[in-house]
């Protein structure tokens, strides 16, 4: 019996329709799916703690103890940020006065440079600065209100985390039971690989962000910025978002330095500091702590992060990288999907990559030609 050939237009239409429906379901069911997905990642993060406790006490108590410890640490972090944020908001009037003074100096500089009169610039620029601080004050206050509301909405997340940890063996056994017998070894290897990569990613991300909190705060304090701890912690927390987080994290103290300091030296110091921190994170911290088990294609990863942000907001941006890593692991172990795994990976461009050896060899060639 010959197979019925489906026209390519119908196949493409079916795929597009499926993507549209799937995207609509994910957006509409965000309040349901997002806490569960976040709970799975958090479960991977605290799994080393609970597995350690399981050596001495039953799993149910080990899971509860690990969750309570995590909640305590999270509460302490938010409380520290809240205290620093309260001081920051109280200083808004003084910062606005300094920012307006800086705007006046900038107007005089622009007038000398371009000949445009200061009074023609003043109204627009001063209104923008006032709007910035006014909206900023309400933004920080509304952010904390929204955070409290979000915490209330995802109050079931600790319950999800508990059951993910408690039934982890049952979930694994379920997957193995629905997989054909001849594919059990491959399925178990894929599950173990996913578990290893996710644990290393989540644990490494927590350690990297903790190190950056200290590094950023010390660096900003040495530069002479006020509220160095708050700015350093906020900048470090932005690194939870891949690629975009570093730019956003560096922009926060840079904007603060430009608007509230009477010279550009602190702003220059912030730029130098975050260039150094970016180098430190990308070349030392992340490769050695998070691990390089799965190297992803940066271009496709950025696209997926954007899509995740459109679908689930900041939570979707955070979830996008581990989701892509899991998809790549699955594709790498299934023959028919390996081309997609190759597309998602970073391999294939090694000859064009800039490495230390290539720089040294280029320097040697240049020196030889000069001699």
Q: Is the pLDDT of residue 253 over 70?
A: yes
Q: DSSP readout, 282-345?
A: IIIIIIIII--SS-B-HHHHHHHHHHHHHHHHHHHHHHHHHHHHHHHHHHHHSGGGHHHHHHHB
Tell me the pTM. Answer: 0.73
For residue 224, the SS3 value is coil
Tens of pLDDT, residues 175-222: 888 988 888 888 888 888 888 888 888 888 888 888 888 999 999 888
pLDDT tens digit string along 300-343? 888 888 888 888 887 888 888 888 888 888 888 888 888 888 88
Phi-psi region of 117 (alpha: psi -120 to 50; beta: other; left: phi over 0): beta
């Amino acid at each position: 019996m010959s197979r019925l050939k489906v026209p390519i237009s119908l196949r493409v239409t079916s795929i597009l329709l499926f993507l549209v429906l799937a995207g609509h379901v994910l957006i509409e069911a965000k309040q349901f799916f997002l806490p569960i997905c976040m709970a799975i990642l958090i479960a991977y993060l605290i799994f080393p703690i609970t597995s350690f406790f399981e050596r001495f006490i039953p799993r149910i108590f080990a899971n509860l103890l690990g969750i309570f410890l995590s909640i305590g640490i999270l509460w302490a972090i938010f409380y520290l940020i809240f205290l620093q944020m309260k001081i920051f908001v109280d200083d808004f009037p003084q910062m606005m006065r300094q920012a307006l003074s800086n705007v006046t100096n900038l107007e005089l500089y622009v007038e000398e440079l371009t000949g445009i009169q200061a009074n023609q610039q003043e109204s627009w620029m001063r209104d923008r600065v006032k709007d910035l601080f006014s909206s900023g004050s309400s933004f920080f206050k509304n952010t904390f209100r929204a955070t409290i509301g979000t915490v209330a909405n995802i109050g079931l997340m600790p319950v999800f985390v508990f059951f993910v940890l408690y039934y982890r063996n049952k979930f694994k056994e379920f997957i193995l039971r629905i997989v054909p017998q001849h594919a059990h070894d491959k399925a178990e290897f894929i599950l173990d690989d996913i578990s290893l990569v996710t644990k290393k990613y989540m644990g490494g991300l927590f350690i990297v962000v903790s190190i950056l909190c200290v590094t950023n705060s010390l660096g900003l304090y040495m530069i002479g910025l006020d509220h160095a701890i708050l700015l350093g912690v906020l900048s470090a927390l932005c690194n939870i978002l891949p690629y975009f987080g570093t730019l956003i994290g560096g922009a926060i103290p840079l904007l603060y330095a430009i608007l509230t300091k009477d010279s550009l030296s602190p702003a220059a110091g912030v730029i130098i500091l975050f260039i150094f921190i970016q180098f430190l994170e990308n070349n030392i911290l992340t490769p050695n702590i998070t691990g390089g088990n799965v190297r992803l294609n940066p271009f496709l990863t950025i696209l997926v992060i954007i899509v995740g942000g459109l679908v689930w907001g900041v939570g979707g941006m955070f979830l996008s990288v581990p989701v892509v890593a899991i998809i790549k692991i699955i594709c790498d172990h299934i023959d028919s999907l390996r081309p997609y795994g190759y597309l998602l990976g970073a391999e294939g461009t090694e000859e064009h990559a800039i490495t230390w050896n290539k720089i040294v060899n280029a320097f040697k060639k240049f020196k030889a030609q000069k001699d």
